[in-house]
Structure 1
């Protein structure tokens, strides 16, 4: 399963939930459940579900596998892979927040 399809487009569409954090505009995305035995990929990250994973567990897995680590408060943390920056919070466990990392480069130019 190519999770990139659920993470595109990252640029906010009218009416989409967005969040401005750390100089980036994040769009809210939910990910589909992953049946046991299925492979999922996102950019350079691939993983296989050994058991059924609901969408919120898939969102958390993408965040953790891309280097994310929540602090004790679990309020907000970021990770990156490829040209994407992921945000995650235990306040919204079924949502992974996605921004294009190159937005930083555009602002600097």
Structure 2
């Protein structure tokens, strides 16, 4: 006879509830850091050096693609349409994501 044959359903449910309770209390709090708004942080010269475009052009491009890039919710590490566009333009301008200027 197996040990699970002797347990009734309520004992199994109680054990599952206790297991869930113990696991929830041991979880670390999720830390969400705010993302830097590069569109506002860079001056026009730095913006052009990194993306090879002026800010007005990027605003117009965002106007054209915003509906296709915007998600319905802001869950699961949401990336704004502006940041998606800046990442795409950065990669298109240089072929890499990082900027290693000193």
Q: TM-score with structure 2 length normalisation?
A: 0.24
Structure with the larger strand share:
1
Specify which structure has the bigger relative contact order, considering alpha-carbon pairs within 8 angstroms and separated by 6 or more residues: 1
Structure with the larger helix share:
2
For the pair shown, the structure with the greater C-alpha radius of gyration is 2
Q: TM-score with structure 1 length normalisation?
A: 0.23
